Amino acid sequence: MQHVFIIGSRGLPAKYGGFETFVQQLVSHQHADEIQYHVACLSDTSHQVHSTYMGADCFTINPPKLGPARVIAYDMMAISYALTLVKEQQVTAPVFYILGNTIGGFIVPFAKKIKAAGGKLFVNPDGLEWKRAKWPKPVQAYLRYAEKLMAKHADLIVADNEGIEEYIIAAYPGIKTTFIAYGTDLSRTHLTAQSEQVRSAFAKWAIKEKEYYLIIGRFVPENNYARAIKEFMASNTSRDLVIVANHEGSAYFQQLKKETGFDADHRIKFIGTVYDQDLLKYLRQECRAYIHGHEVGGTNPSLLEALAQTNENLVLGVDFNRKVAVDGARYWTKEPGNLSQLINTIDGQEEAVELGQIAKWHMRENYTWEKVVQQYEELFLDES
């Protein structure tokens, strides 16, 4: 039996996105009986309590409330407890799969203990976390240092974006890496134009099918909301710009309003967070085009979801995004006027359905959870 300890997500069942969704898909699509997953779960109420979820052994960790540093304490405590399980259960050749680089500044003694237990340390660095604008300079410096130490002490870096893998290879020569994509849900929405849920929501938001552009994503500066909104406002389209984001009560929302003056443009519509996945799929399916401004890759789940559902995707042309969308999207740059000109160009044209078909084919071939999980299982079993 190959035991795999997964550290760094909030745990199961998934209630958030990103790493939590990945872990949920990994265990729900498990095919290999020879793998036993052990998943650390962040808790405010229990500690070292075990439960089973879809065959995975889930154990709770309740770290002290240390503000942003709590996630580091969580990872450290989770690894320590997992090492006790390895010893108690006499596990041989365990794999420790750490999601994210946050613990990197403290990884050295843990890496030594994992090695002493006959184990391997795998790391998924996610994106370039140290580049995120939300972090103050000292935090950015720590995160870059953490990335360096994780790369140095990991037995393998697993990148979910080819651009991230290329970055790691260039930044840290001699590091062993592999690429396994992040997956996405390719199923179509069950909703139609006649669905009461659709008509109620569209009436509330005052939008119509194919009469809006769409942005969905984390409400942070590095996703280039300011640039996208300014460019949209400068375009000639009479269509709306629908923005699905958790903007309410956000200081960044007030900053955006001041910077762009979007509140004076009736086309800009912030509709808040939409949790219903079928409705989100319908929104993507029925937009005139999706605008993706994420800049600090990895593979952004929101881009995969758009490529799986939307015909025309207008994607910021950074390397991480191009590795994912390839020839299934139209690209724009941050140069003033570039995106607005692209919007003007396509706005008077028929929707490029063939572009959507290319994107959907690419998702089916390379980004299904079935394929992703199969690659992970092969990777983990290679260590047995």
Question: Could you tell me if 155 and 244 lie in one domain?
Answer: no
Question: What per-residue confidence (pLDDT) applies to 331?
Answer: 98
Mean pLDDT of 255-280: 96
188 assigned to some structural domain: no
Same domain, 248 and 328: yes
* Residue count (the chain): 384
Is 46 contained in some domain?
yes
Position 85, amino acid: L
Smallest Cα–Cα separation from 157: which of 168, 171, 142?
168
Q: What average pLDDT does range 199-225 have in this prediction? A: 96
Look at residue 262 and tell me if it is in a domain. yes
Tell whether 117 is covered by a domain. yes
211, 350: one domain: yes
CA distances from 38 to 49, 54, 83, 93 (A): 12, 11, 11, 14
Count of the separate structural domains present in the chain: 2
For the record, the structure tokens of 284 come out as 């993507």
Q: Does residue 341 have a pLDDT over 80?
A: yes
CB 382 within 8 A of CB 119: no
Higher pLDDT, 284 or 127: 284
pLDDT of residue 286 exceeding 70, the answer is: yes
Give the closest residue to 223 by CA, choosing from 139, 301, 124.
Answer: 301
Query: What's the confidence (pLDDT) of residue 15?
Result: 79
Q: Let me know: does 51 contact 65? Beta carbons within 8 Å.
A: no
Instruction: Determine, yes or no, domain membership for 189.
Output: no
Residue 291, amino acid: I
Q: Provide the pLDDT confidence category of residue 384 given band limits of 50, 70 and 90.
A: low
Q: Is the dihedral of CA 87, 88, 91, 96 positive or negative?
A: negative
Average pLDDT over residues 299-303: 88
Tell me the mean pLDDT in the region 287-313.
92
Question: What's the pLDDT score for residue 44?
Answer: 95
**CATH number of the domain that residue 201 is part of:** 3.40.50.2000
How remote is the C-alpha of 247 from its chain's centroid?
A: 19
Query: 174 in the Ramachandran plot: left (φ > 0), alpha (ψ -120 to 50) or beta?
Result: left
The residues facing 243 across adjacent strands are 215, 270
Does one domain contain both 280 and 323? yes
Q: Which amino acid appears at position 280 of this protein?
A: L
Preceding amide of 336 cis, omega within 30: no
Beta bridge partners of 292: 315
Question: Domain check: are 106 and 221 in the same one?
Answer: no
Is 64 within 8 Å of 73 (Cβ atoms)?
yes
Count helices and strands in the chain by DSSP H and E runs: 14, 14
Residue 127 has pLDDT above 80, yes or no: no
Q: What is the mean predicted confidence (pLDDT) over 307-327?
A: 96
> Mean pLDDT throughout 112-116?
98
Smallest CA-to-CA distance from 357 within 303, 300, 309 is with: 309
Looking at the chain, the whole-number percentage of residues with pLDDT higher than 70 is 99
Q: From 345, 314, 351, select the one nearest 210 (Cα to Cα).
A: 351
Same domain membership, residue 211 and residue 127? no
Same domain, 140 and 257: no
Of 99, 93, 115, the residue nearest 26 (C-alpha) = 99
**129 shares its domain with 226:** no
Question: Taking residues 308-316, what's their average pLDDT?
Answer: 97
Question: What's residue 136's pLDDT?
Answer: 83
Contact 214, 293 (CB under 8 A): no
299 and 341 part of one domain: yes
Q: Does residue 190 fall inside a structural domain? A: no
Mean pLDDT across the chain, nearest whole number? 94
Summarised one tens digit per residue, pLDDT across range 226-252 is 999 999 999 999 999 999 999 988 999
The tokens of 150 are what?
């994780």
119: pLDDT confidence band, cut at 50, 70 and 90? very high
Range of the domain at 254: 196-366
CA 25 – CA 47 distance, rounded (Å): 24
Does residue 191 form part of some domain?
no
Question: pLDDT by residue (tens digit) across 35-85?
Answer: 999 999 999 999 999 999 999 999 999 999 988 889 999 999 999 999 999
DSSP state of 351: P
pLDDT at 99 over 90: yes
Residues 80 and 127 in one domain: yes
pTM over 0.85: yes
| Residues 201 and 131 grouped into a single domain | no
Copy the structure tokens of residue 145.
């240092």
Q: How many CB atoms lie within 10 A of CB 117?
A: 17
| Same domain? 229 vs 307 | yes
- 357 in a domain, yes or no? yes
Instruction: For residues 35 and 131, give the distance between their C-alpha atoms in angstroms, rounded to a whole number.
Output: 35
Structure tokens at 12: 């199961």
pLDDT band (50, 70, 90) for residue 383: low
